Amino acid sequence: MKIKPIATSLLLSFFLLFNCSNHTTKIFSTKGHLFIIGGGKRPDSVMKKFIQLADGFDKGKILVLPMASGDPMDVGMYQANQMTELGAKNVSFLFVTREEAMMDSSVQKLNGATGIFFSGGSQTRLVEAIGGTPFEEKIHQLYQQGAVIGGTSAGAAVMSEIMITGDEKRPDERKDRAFNRIEGANIVTETGFGFLKNMIIDQHFIRRKRHNRLISLVLENTKKVGIGIDESTALIVYPDLTLEIIGENSVIFYDARNSQPAPFDSTKSYNLAASNIKMHILTDGYRINLITNEIIDPDYEEN
């Protein structure tokens, strides 16, 4: 077994993170998986893994929820067709308005779903459609019962309780200078679906150079671990708290739980500062076991 010593401390932090929170029971009681894609092209190998977890090659029922998209009908059909072409036997898409998400007739359409997939687009649009409704509550129930809940881009951002919207409170006049500093009281967030209470998810992470905004949020919320998922890459959260990275690029972890943040006073400066922040970069095949505090290399083979 090959263990990365540099990353072991992150695992200890994760172990304490979950075992010292009220969310521990919920995490350990779930039978489902989370499947979080950082946006961009979705490699066939990644999507086949989602289908497999949802039992989609056999008797599973997969529903694509395209409410984040500005063109939901076309996107929903496209993504459902993609999974069908990869071998999924029962895939369809379901679009609901907020009014419909309050109706029992819409909630019943989720019955029997073994896989839910949130499309990309605007995470705010998705939350406005189903956040806090019986429809969202049913999705959480499906997750607890064993369904895989997946999403890409905006569908990844909604997974955490603190959801990055993509907006700033003090934007630069030039769009190419978005999030150009690590600073406090600037990142606009909303409440996401909260499948991950103690993590903050960001997406398109390396491709779109989004380090500044995630680091800023982590320094403002030091009890939460920031996870930046790059394009064409997925983070799988298993029921036993094992995390696995699959796909073409990287997942970056920022952990400031044991850091020493400097006092923040917005009347003097918006700059954020801290020492002893842990950063870890993991790629395809890495697994994190949050019970044994090990990071397992891709080349590790069990006897």
Angle between the 72-85 and 44-53 helix axes, to the nearest 10 degrees?
80
pLDDT band at 19 (very low <50, low <70, confident <90, very high): very low
Residue 208 lies in a domain: yes
Residue 179 lies in a domain: no
Per-residue model confidence as pLDDT tens digits over 85-99: 999 999 999 999 999
Bridge partner list, 296: 3, 287
pLDDT, position 171: 93
Looking at residue 210, the DSSP 8-state letter turns out to be -
CATH number of the domain residue 22 falls in: 3.40.50.880
What is d(CA 200, CA 219) in angstroms, rounded to the nearest whole number? 12
Range of 99's domain?
5-167+190-293
Residue 185 lies in a domain: no
Please state, for a pLDDT cut of 70, what percent of the chain lies above it. Answer: 87
> Across the chain, what does the average pLDDT equal?
90
Cα angle 249, 251, 254 (rounded to 5 degrees) comes to 150
CA atoms within 13 A on the CB side of 40: 18
Q: Is the pLDDT of residue 21 over 50?
A: no
| 60 or 16: which leads in pLDDT | 60
Pick from 202, 150, 253: nearest CA to 38: 202
Residue 109 lies in a domain: yes
Residue 9 lies in a domain: yes
Pick from 8, 47, 54: nearest CA to 32: 54
pLDDT, position 72: 98
Domain count, the chain: 1
Pick from 129, 94, 132, 128: nearest CA to 111: 94
Looking at residue 167, the DSSP 8-state letter turns out to be E
pLDDT, position 222: 96
Bridge partner list, 36: 151, 235
Q: Is the pLDDT of residue 220 over 60?
A: yes
Q: Is the pLDDT of residue 2 over 70?
A: no
Residue 172 lies in a domain: no
Pick from 291, 210, 285, 290: nearest CA to 252: 210
pLDDT, position 13: 42
Residue 177 lies in a domain: no
Span 6-32, mean pLDDT?
48
pLDDT band at 159 (very low <50, low <70, confident <90, very high): very high
pLDDT, position 8: 40
pLDDT band at 302 (very low <50, low <70, confident <90, very high): low
Pick from 92, 106, 163, 97: nearest CA to 137: 106
Q: Which residues contact 12 (CB under 8 A, 6 or more apart)?
A: 293
pLDDT band at 241 (very low <50, low <70, confident <90, very high): confident
pLDDT, position 301: 63
CA 41 to chain centre: 16
Residue 182 lies in a domain: no
pLDDT, position 91: 99
pLDDT band at 18 (very low <50, low <70, confident <90, very high): very low
Query: β-strand 62-65 against 91-93: which pairing, if any?
Result: parallel
pLDDT, position 242: 85
pLDDT band at 303 (very low <50, low <70, confident <90, very high): low
| 302 or 66: which leads in pLDDT | 66
Which alpha helices (DSSP H) does the chain contain, by range? 5-19, 24-29, 44-53, 72-85, 98-101, 104-108, 123-130, 134-145, 154-157, 211-220
Per-residue model confidence as pLDDT tens digits over 245-299: 999 999 999 999 999 999 999 999 999 999 999 898 999 999 876 555 578 889 7
Span 188-205, mean pLDDT?
96
pLDDT band at 223 (very low <50, low <70, confident <90, very high): very high
